[in-house]
Structure 1
Amino acid sequence: MPQGSSLERLRETNRRAITMLLAADGPMSRADLVRGTGLSRTTVSSLVGDLIATGHVVETADRGRPHKGGSGRPPLLVALTTPSGGVAGVDIGHRHVRVAVADRRGAVLAEETVVLDVDLDGEAALDRAADMVRRTLDGAEVPPADLRAVGMCVPAPLDRRSARVRTRILPGWRELSPAEELHRRLGVPVFADNDANLGALAEVGHGAAKGATDVVYVKVASGLGAGIVLGGRLHRGTTGIAGELGHVQVAEDGQVCRCGNRGCLETLVSASRLMSVLQPAYDEELSVERVLELEVEGDAGVRRVISDAGLAVGRALADLCNTLNPEVVVVGGSTGASPALREAIRAAVDRYAQPDTAAALRIVPGELGKRASLVGAVSLANARVAV
């Protein structure tokens, strides 16, 4: 491979890191871009110059504050230009499809959600998602010709080399390329990633981890996954399966997991597992929402079961934190709203992680709730068409 080609590809990657940060956080100084991307001051200055020259970025009349309250003339800010058109975000979960249409700044103009079991028929789910995008465009009064890109979340890892689903977790999606299939239906660029990665992107850009550069977003819901942000960039790993925390083996002879292995952490802490443990003790039909209500009411059995799950998650997270040394762990997903879960995660991390690692770590609830993956999908679409 020619050296010039490799250098240009690296430069393009770094340009995208800058535009993704500007898309997520709005106008920033060059110094803030250095801190947020982890790139050198010289590299940021050169790339910002390129982006200004091509019209993708402008210097604003507003000035920022000196870093850390220092004195001196406040720095000029740079911002993405405001291009025309809109983007769409598509959040495909195991039991729902959510679609939002937003402007190029990320402001949502219209949104729609349907309940749908997507696991067994990927083609039908993508047909439904495409129809929802078209309806939502109409509701947002955005002409289809003005749709620039779609960001899409799927509830499973995507093979980074082929962009295909190759896991048993979504049996009706095996060997499908979700981005390619939705592009075929809509005729615009589509960019796909998994739900935990896009949840991480959303919480870093707009939620509980805003301003942090080393973050682990843990989604505890029907499954368990993590999105990892290092140096301000989403870390996907060589094949795209970084952060599959739910498939850490915790018992060699444990229950068979939907991934095909035995004894995965997910088999102990998924929402369905928690419901099955709790249900025999209650006369009413339990749901995640009802279990969280019982926790607020002080139900001792619910708190015990959720705390046990939190301790198991925290034990696995402690090892991950020892390796990555993050600043923030954001706990999201439907079950992640539980205070007892977070308290137990905190206790396990404090017990099993290195003392300095645990002391530097904040464990916080997600701010975006069930909309995190959708917000992340919109951010992904905007970032990918920003350059």
Structure 2
Amino acid sequence: MAGPATQLSGDASVLRTLNLRSVLRVLYGGGKSHTITEIAAAASVSRPTANQAISDLLAAGWIRHSPQTAGAKDGPGRPAQRFEFRPGAGHVLGVDIGGHKVLALVSDLSGEIVAERRATLRPSSPRSRRLAIMNQAIAEALDAAGLPAADISCAAIATPGVVGPDGKVAHAPAIPDWVGVDLGEHVRSRFGVPTQVFNDMRMAALAEHWKGVARDASDVVYVHVGRRMGTGLLVSGRPHAGRHGAAAEIGLWRGLPWAHAYERLLELAPGRAPAPEAPDERGDAIQAVFEAARAGDAAAQSGIEAFADLLVKGLAPVMVTIDPELVIIGGGISAAGEAIREPVRIRVERETDFPPKVVCSVLGDHSAAIGAVRSALDVAEERLFSGLKPP
């Protein structure tokens, strides 16, 4: 892992290694500082053991003295020293590459985004052009963070389509010439960063569980409604991909006409529907449809009702299969808020005996990239604790 050396030096007993990891676990995450006494109690180790572990972790750069002051004493006549994890001791990269944009986020180990770069893509862009723009967005994000690629512990990429167990895109009707692309290998060879690849809808669902509306939910259905339609599942708090990486890919259901449902809704906007290459205008158009419905436009009202019918028809088999706590509406349509949530909620309650709560996403078009950051942090954390050893 980049940053302070995970291998502190030399060999050590298994017990000392376990104690060191236990002490770091107390300080890792949460953003809180602790005294030696608090650390020893929380890690279930003796005070001398905690002192030694703190010394080792300070030397390695994983923790630091906290600037917080404490009124309590940590010993006779001595002010209590406090220690905290150093989030900047390591960084990860999360990337969302889709039909219309690339979004690259650099995060420290606490999950705080320290740099962001966005680039616009055309849906018709060839693979080589799309990859080149992604490379540039990543490089600019690293520059903005003041980090060389060697300081990135690991990366995760979110992309549309079915991502197979080998990390390659196996099916991607939304992006021309995308099937077979190995984004993980591309980033590894270009930047030297270990990289995993995931379906973007699953990363969006994970982001909602981490920083969005699903923080208290473990079983979640996320449905993206925008320039394309897609779904992602969380089961027991983790993304569920299935054997081929195609779990909950309702758009692959040939009997469900989801493919052009959103386009038909856009056609109800006053004036002419925008072209697929004009994403900003499309966002304006969907808002215009809901505004027209609120103003009493019968065609817009009927179109929204029909769209909600079709949406829930596709979601119903998934809901009765995993029995989720939440259905999250994401994508461009989520900006309509209650105007789309309510018709979907009514139909969900009508179609299922144990209806989940229906909510709208609050993360906007950052959701997939944020989920990619969370996945990269999971890998970074596992590597940190599995590789950490005392001197």
Distance 1:311 1:51 in 2: 55
Which deviates the most, 196-205 or 120-129?
120-129
Match of 2:324 among 301, 323, 326: 326
CA-to-partner distance for each residue in 1:201-243, whole Å, 9 max, x for gaps? 1000110000211111111112221111111221110111112
Match of 1:282 among 247, 259, 271: 271
**1:115: Cα distance to partner?**
1.2
CA-to-partner distance for each residue in 1:60-95, whole Å, 9 max, x for gaps? 5999xxxxxxxxxxx959998747221111111211
SS at match of 2:171: coil
Distance 2:250 2:85 in 1: 35
TM-aligned CA distance change 1:86 to 1:282, over 3 Å: same
**1:110: Cα distance to partner?**
1.4
Which one has a bigger Cα radius of gyration? Answer: 2
CA contact (8 A) 2:160 2:200 kept: yes
Match of 1:129 among 134, 157, 164: 134
TM-aligned CA distance change 1:284 to 1:191, over 3 Å: closer
What residue identity is the alignment partner of 1:84? Answer: A
Distance 2:97 2:157 in 1: 7
RMSD: 2.9
CA contact (8 A) 2:248 2:318 kept: no
What residue identity is the alignment partner of 2:350? Answer: R
**Structure 1 equivalent of residue 169 of structure 2:** 165
Equivalences, count: 307
Distance 1:186 1:278 in 2: 46
> TM-score, normalising length from structure 1?
0.72
**Structure 1 equivalent of residue 81 of structure 2:** none
**Structure 2 equivalent of residue 341 of structure 1:** 340
**Structure 1 equivalent of residue 246 of structure 2:** 241
SS at match of 2:136: helix
Distance 2:138 2:29 in 1: 36
CA contact (8 A) 1:315 1:345 kept: no
What residue identity is the alignment partner of 2:97? Answer: I
> TM-score, normalising length from structure 2?
0.71
TM-aligned CA distance change 1:62 to 1:196, over 3 Å: closer
CA contact (8 A) 2:160 2:172 kept: no
Structure 1: which 5+ residue stretches go unaligned? Answer: 1-48, 64-74, 251-263
**Structure 1 equivalent of residue 307 of structure 2:** 309
Aligned pairs for 1:368-379 within 5 A? 368-379=363-374
**1:50: Cα distance to partner?**
8.7
**Structure 1 equivalent of residue 156 of structure 2:** 151
SS at match of 2:342: helix
Structure 2: which 5+ residue stretches go unaligned? Answer: 1-15, 31-40, 45-83, 275-280, 383-391
**1:98: Cα distance to partner?**
1.0
**Structure 1 equivalent of residue 26 of structure 2:** 59
TM-aligned CA distance change 1:51 to 1:326, over 3 Å: farther
TM-aligned CA distance change 1:321 to 1:145, over 3 Å: same
TM-aligned CA distance change 1:340 to 1:143, over 3 Å: same
**Structure 2 equivalent of residue 211 of structure 1:** 216
Match of 1:385 among 357, 380, 389: 380
Aligned pairs for 1:27-46 within 5 A? none
What residue identity is the alignment partner of 2:203? Answer: L
CA contact (8 A) 1:58 1:81 kept: no
**Structure 2 equivalent of residue 352 of structure 1:** 351
Which deviates the most, 103-112 or 116-125?
116-125
